Chains A and B, each alone.
Chain A
Amino acid sequence: EAEVAQSPRYKITEKSQAVAFWCDPISGHATLYWYRQILGQGPELLVQFQDESVVDDSQLPKDRFSAERLKGVDSTLKIQPAELGDSAMYLCASSLGGSGMSTGELFFGEGSRLTVL
């Protein structure tokens, strides 16, 4: 069964350091999402890609966060510098996106748990 791959699963860093998360979506999925989930809350969208283009990054803190999907396949989310409040689970998801077969379902990876000390 096709899955969304994410790495690393767990990351501990000190504040002011740089961190990066990687996501490989399900093959053929044009749309890729990065969500942030703070402990005890629902996931919140950070950025949405359609192929290699950013569709929505209105909630991405652009002073410290960046995301790219250069070839329209895998994606990297970077935080520099990390702050204590960035401690959260970072979830990647993908969907068919823009296809007549799409029913709105997102497929999620297992997430990357970030702890900032």
Chain B
Amino acid sequence: AQSVTQLGSHVSVSEGALVLLRCNYSSSVPPYLFWYVQYPNQGLQLLLKYTSAATLVKGINGFEAEFKKSETSFHLTKPSAHMSDAAEYFCAVSPRRWGNEKLTFGTGTRLTIIP
């Protein structure tokens, strides 16, 4: 079975500082990996996805993530935090099989931006 582990349920950074949200995955086969963002009382919005092309993936709002197979990691970063980045972030994994895009989510990391 596939799973993801998000280290740190809460992360606080100062505005303008580096954002680093950690995600490690467990999968017997190379998976698809995703980061989603959720604002209060909203659905999930895709930030970026890894589907076996470039290992460094760029997403929306200045976020990027690097797939590291040797470390089974897919950490999310942003060079300079903005107040609007305050939200809940979810890492997710999906099996690499056509017709089975079932996502398994991590428990989430709440990002707080300090003015």
Q: Give A residues with C-beta under 8 Å from B.
A: 4, 6, 31, 33, 40-45, 48, 50, 55-56, 89, 91, 93, 95-100, 102-111, 113
6 extra interface residue pairs, beta carbon distance < 8 Å, beyond A100-B98, A105-B101:
A43-B90, A48-B102, A102-B98, A104-B94, A105-B34, A105-B49
Determine, out of B13-21, B40-48, B66-74, the stretch whose residues face the partner at the interface. Answer: B40-48
Contact A91 B43 (CB under 8 A): yes
Bin the interface of chain B by size: 20 to 34
Complex contact B102–A56 (CB within 8 A): yes
* B32 and A104 contact, CB distance less than 8 A: yes
Q: 13 A–B contact pairs at CB < 8 A? A: A31-B99, A33-B102, A40-B108, A42-B105, A89-B41, A93-B103, A95-B101, A99-B98, A100-B98, A103-B49, A103-B51, A104-B32, A111-B41
Complex Cα–Cα for A108 and B100 (A): 16
The answer on a CB contact under 8 Å between A97 and B43 is no
Give the residues in chain A near B104, CB-CB below 8 Å: 45
Contact between B41 and A113, CB atoms less than 8 A apart? yes
In the complex, what residue of chain B is closest to A91 when comparing beta carbons? B43
Q: How far is the CB of B94 from chain A (nearest CB, A)?
A: 4
CB B67 to nearest CB in A, in angstroms, measures 14
Cα–Cα distance between A91 and B42 once the two chains are bound (Å):
9
In the complex the two chains form, is B101's CB within 8 Å of A97's CB? yes
Q: Which of A43, A48, A93, A110 has the most CB of B within 10 A?
A: A43
CB-CB under 8 A from A44, the residues of chain B are 105
